[in-house]
Amino acid sequence: MLLPWFAGSYALSVATLILYFAYTGQAWNVMMGFAGQLSLGHALYVGVGGYAAGALFYHYGIGPWAGLWLAILLCVALGLAIGFLAFRFGISGVYFALLTIAFAEFTRIGFDHLDWLGGPGGMFLKVAQRDSIDLLNFRGPPAMYYYSMLFLTVIAFVLCALLLRSRAGYYWQAIRENEEAAQALGINTFRWKMLAVAISSAMTAVSGVFFAFYYNNLFPEQIFHISRSIEIILGPIIGGIGTLFGPILGAVVLTLLSDGITEGLAAMGWEIPGIKQVFYGLVLLAVIMFLPNGIWPPLARRLGFHK
């Protein structure tokens, strides 16, 4: 909470990144962790959300508060369209996951050929000033971005906690555990899965808007790429899928791990391209092999929390 007062700008940017992944991971967790629908294309919503708000600002000077609604609207529409097509045609499991990849990749290559949005050369938002806080245009010092991300993460946590204990949450978990049994109990699985997709894509759209105005540049190759989708989902999976603390814990662990490896290698003078990711991959491999449910569930048991 008080971090910006004593942390340097580097630590602050790392903290912002952690919160960004915690929030986006929470959004993805609604769809996969709660309702059991594996999306491997969440970068699609980050990208479309970012480009929607970014384009309004870039072309018409319309600020991010209006852009946010457009971003959410577009992402929910897109999510519902994909969900409708997939769930109506009975696509699930691996096939659903591959369909989400296909849509994200299709969009990535499409955006590469949209000159209005900058094409492969990217779209750059004007950075007006960094000194004073201009909430209306979402421009300001790094601390402002940190606090907005903190705010979003807290909101998402509360929202997910409420959702998990709501009727929808129980229906989702029933669908996740056994869709046929849920259907046999009279749950309209189609409708509840669509709701999960809508909430998840709306939340991810907000990440996209944040991304656009925090980094001020958008490249299709970067924002829609499948490695971005993987980045988003690593946190919740490592932290503990379907739990409330999992996405947050996973984001902290992975971001610090990635940073720690970078610094450790730099200290030893091993700065060869690729070496950092090799270590990162090996640690991921170890975690997934030895902690199949993620870090949070065993940790919670150790700490004496219920589940």
Partner 1 sequence: MSFDLVANVVIAGVLTGLVYGLMALGLSVIFGVVRVVNFAHGEMMTIAMYATTVLFAALKLDPFLSILPVAAAFFAFGYAMQAGFINPFITRPEHSQFMLLVAVAIVMVNALLLIFGPAARNVQVDYQLESFEIGRILIDKARLYSAGAAVVAALGLFAFFRYSLTGKAIRACADNYMGARVVGLNVKKLYALTFGLGSICVAVAGCAMVLLVDVTPPLGPYYTLLAFVIVIVGGLGSMGGALLGGVLIGVSEALAGLFIAPSAKSMFSFGLLILVLLFRPQGLLGRKP
Which spans of this chain sit near partner 1 (rule: CB under 8 A)?
Answer: 32, 38, 40, 85-86, 89-91, 93-95, 97-99, 101-103, 105-106, 109-110, 112-113, 120, 226-227, 230, 233-234, 237, 241, 272-278, 280-282, 284-285, 288-289, 292
* CA–CA distance, 144 with 148 (Å, rounded to integer): 6
**Tokens in use for 233?**
């989902």
* CA–CA distance, 119 with 131 (Å, rounded to integer): 31
Residue 94 has φ and ψ, to the nearest 5°, of: -55, -40
Which candidate, 18, 32, 59, 16, places its Cα nearest to that of 233?
32
Pick the closer one to partner 1 by CB: 35 or 144. Answer: 35
CB of 93 to partner 1, least distance (A): 6
Pick the closer one to partner 1 by CB: 60 or 89. Answer: 89
Which candidate, 240, 200, 241, places its Cα nearest to that of 41?
200
Pick the closer one to partner 1 by CB: 87 or 138. Answer: 87
Residue 254 has φ and ψ, to the nearest 5°, of: -70, -40
CB of 111 to partner 1, least distance (A): 10
* CA–CA distance, 234 with 241 (Å, rounded to integer): 10
Q: Is 40:226 a contact under the CB 8 Å cutoff?
A: yes
Q: Is 224:105 a contact under the CB 8 Å cutoff?
A: yes
Pick the closer one to partner 1 by CB: 86 or 163. Answer: 86
CB of 102 to partner 1, least distance (A): 5
CB of 107 to partner 1, least distance (A): 9
Q: What angle do CA 187, 189, 190 make, to 5 degrees?
A: 135
Pick the closer one to partner 1 by CB: 63 or 250. Answer: 250
Which candidate, 177, 212, 231, 280, places its Cα nearest to that of 48?
212
CB of 24 to partner 1, least distance (A): 16
Q: Is 38:230 a contact under the CB 8 Å cutoff?
A: no
CB of 96 to partner 1, least distance (A): 9
* CA–CA distance, 190 with 201 (Å, rounded to integer): 16
Pick the closer one to partner 1 by CB: 137 or 262. Answer: 262
Q: Is 45:209 a contact under the CB 8 Å cutoff?
A: no
Pick the closer one to partner 1 by CB: 139 or 228. Answer: 228
Pick the closer one to partner 1 by CB: 69 or 280. Answer: 280
CB of 175 to partner 1, least distance (A): 14
CB of 275 to partner 1, least distance (A): 5
Please, which residues bridge with residue 124 across strands? 217
- Give the SS3 label for residue 205: helix
